[in-house]
């Protein structure tokens, strides 16, 4: 059972217990009122007070058991039985009251108390219990009327202060029983419908929570709200977007000789710096791949200037990560922190990929593969940021190094790439880096990178 549903069942049982206590208090006050207006306690009054006391002890005991040991479905069925028998018993005991007793007049309308009992049972989130309460109420009422008819206590005439004389009628009592049973059936249907809506609400709440957990830490709150309002599609579609890979260089050598706590501290600091910058520029963190991060600009939310946003994000990332080397050395680690950023724009396929057990929103395609290869080129070129040719026009007045020609794994023809040199990222004055051969082949033997 879902924890929220269980909690609401417990809440409902407590509400029913409060209603029962109110009913018992009212019943006891009415008995005392009858005693005060009559000639003292009758046998009916004594029986009714004892019944009120027993039912009160049961209610208090049930609440204590639920608080200490938790809720069980059987408690609801037991409570329904107690409530129905309580009303029937107190009504039946009115046969011992004098003809002029107020109890005789009240007994004609006592069956109406069954209706809130039946309707309140809906709060237990148990349609079968509601149906049982209604049918059991009808059967109990019918049995009580039959017993009173056989023993000839059913035909007591009741006279009001105005002189109106009322006499019970079997046909009317049969209609009352049928009405109670019908109320149980209606309550059963209402309970099923209520539970279905409740479960649908829980599923919707879980879905929203899942989406917030999946995206909330990686994208802006504004984008999360759009996702939740269904303004962003998760179906597979082709999209123009920019993909960026960020990776720590030579991290494997560090992992081989560093203790786990230091290693995790470096990773966490790197991710913390990166995520803050990425979120500020509207990037979507597709996934973490060990010590690397894959970021998409232009998905899930469409964005017109996604390449410009990616480049500005990469430049700010470079400035933010420039402090990492000194921080790593402050930990006593003899290792030079380096990073590489590869950026490529083009058509990607985006959508939910996986199974019902595990699903993730991701980008696929040649554009993604090339962006990953460009990140690896940063080691060869010696520049922290490498751009695909499709991104150059979005760089604006950036001082670029290149163009370079490189063979990438999976590409039959060499690709043209550019780099943003370190001096550009530091904001230092100077001329653009000039490459003697603007179409420099990165590997003379045309080996793939």
- pLDDT tens readout for residues 301-319: 788 889 999 999 999 998 8
Specify the pLDDT at position 245: 95
* pLDDT at res. 11: 84
Exposed, middle or buried, 330 (CB in 10 Å: 0-12/13-18/19+)? exposed
What is the Cα–Cα distance from 52 to 34, expressed in whole angstroms?
15
Asked whether residue 91 carries a pLDDT value surpassing 70, the answer given is yes
Architecture per CATH, domain 235-441, reads as 2-Layer Sandwich (3.30)
Q: What is the DSSP string of 122-155?
A: GGGS-HHHHHHHHHHHHHHHHHHHHHHHHTT-TT
Closest CA to 80 of 142, 162, 20: 20
pLDDT, average across residues 229-235: 61
Distance CA(91)–CA(109), nearest Å, equals 9
Backbone angles phi, psi at 394, to 5 degrees: -85, -5
Name every residue whose Cβ is closer than 8 Å to that of residue 50 and which is 6 or more positions away in sequence.
none
Which is more confident, 89 or 140?
Answer: 140
- C-beta neighbour count of 297 within 10 angstroms: 26
**Angstrom distances, CA of residue 35 to CA of 21, 44, 87, 157, 181:** 21, 10, 20, 20, 34
The pLDDT > 90 percentage for the chain reads: 13
339: DSSP letter: E
pTM beyond cutoff 0.75 = no
Helix axes 73-92 and 43-69, enclosed angle (nearest 10): 170
Q: Give the model's confidence band at 431: pLDDT under 50 very low, under 70 low, under 90 confident, else very high.
A: very low
Q: How far apart are CA 273 and CA 9, in angstroms?
A: 46
Identify whether the C-beta of residue 400 lies closer than 8 Å to the C-beta of residue 418.
yes
| Domain regions of the chain by residue span | 3-211, 235-441
- 188, 131 Cβ separation under 8 angstroms: yes
Chain segment 279-300, per-residue pLDDT in tens: 889 888 888 888 899 999 988 8
User: What pLDDT score was predicted for residue 382?
Assistant: 85
Position with higher pLDDT, 423 vs 301: 301
């Amino acid at each position: 059972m879902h924890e929220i549903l269980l909690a609401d069942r417990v809440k409902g049982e407590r509400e029913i217990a409060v209603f029962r206590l109110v009913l018992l208090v009212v019943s006891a006050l009415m008995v005392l009122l009858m005693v005060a207006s009559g000639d003292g306690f009758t046998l009916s009054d004594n029986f009714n007070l004892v019944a009120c006391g027993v039912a009160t002890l049961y209610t208090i005991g049930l609440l204590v058991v639920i608080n200490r040991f938790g809720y069980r479905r059987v408690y609801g069925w037991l409570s329904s039985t107690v409530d129905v028998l309580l009303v029937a018993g107190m009504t039946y005991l009115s046969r011992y009251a004098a003809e002029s007793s107020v109890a005789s007049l009240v007994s004609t309308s006592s069956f109406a108390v069954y209706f809130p009992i039946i309707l309140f049972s809906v709060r237990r989130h148990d349609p079968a219990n509601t149906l049982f309460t209604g049918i059991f109420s009808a059967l109990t009422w019918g049995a009580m009327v039959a017993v009173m008819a056989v023993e000839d206590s059913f035909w007591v005439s009741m006279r009001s202060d105005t002189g109106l004389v009322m006499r019970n009628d079997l046909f009317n009592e049969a209609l009352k029983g049928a009405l109670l049973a019908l109320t149980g059936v209606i309550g059963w249907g209402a309970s099923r419908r209520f539970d279905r809506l409740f479960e649908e609400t829980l599923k919707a709440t879980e879905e929203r929570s899942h989406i917030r957990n999946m995206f909330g830490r990686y994208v802006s709150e504004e984008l999360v709200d759009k996702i939740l309002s269904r303004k962003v599609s998760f179906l597979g579609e082709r999209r123009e977007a920019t993909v960026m890979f960020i990776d720590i260089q030579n991290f494997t050598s560090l992992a081989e000789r560093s203790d786990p706590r230091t290693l995790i501290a470096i990773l966490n600091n790197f991710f913390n710096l990166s995520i803050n910058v990425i979120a500020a520029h509207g990037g979507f963190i597709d996934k973490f791949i060990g010590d690397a991060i894959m970021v998409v600009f232009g998905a899930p939310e469409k964005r017109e200037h996604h390449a410009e946003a990616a480049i500005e994000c990469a430049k700010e990332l470079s400035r933010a990560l420039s402090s990492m080397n000194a921080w790593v050395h402050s930990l006593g680690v003899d290792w030079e922190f380096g990073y590489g950023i590869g950026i490529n724009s083009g058509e990607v396929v985006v959508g939910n990929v996986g199974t019902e057990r595990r699903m993730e929103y991701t980008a696929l395609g040649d554009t993604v593969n090339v962006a990953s290869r460009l990140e690896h080129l940063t080691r060869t070129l010696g520049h922290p940021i490498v751009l695909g040719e499709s991104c150059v026009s979005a760089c604006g007045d950036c001082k670029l190094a290149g163009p370079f020609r490189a063979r990438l794994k999976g590409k039959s023809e060499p690709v043209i790439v550019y780099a943003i040199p370190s001096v550009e990222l530091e904001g230092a004055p100077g001329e653009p880096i000039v490459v003697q051969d603007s179409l420099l082949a990165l590997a003379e033997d045309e080996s793939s990178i």
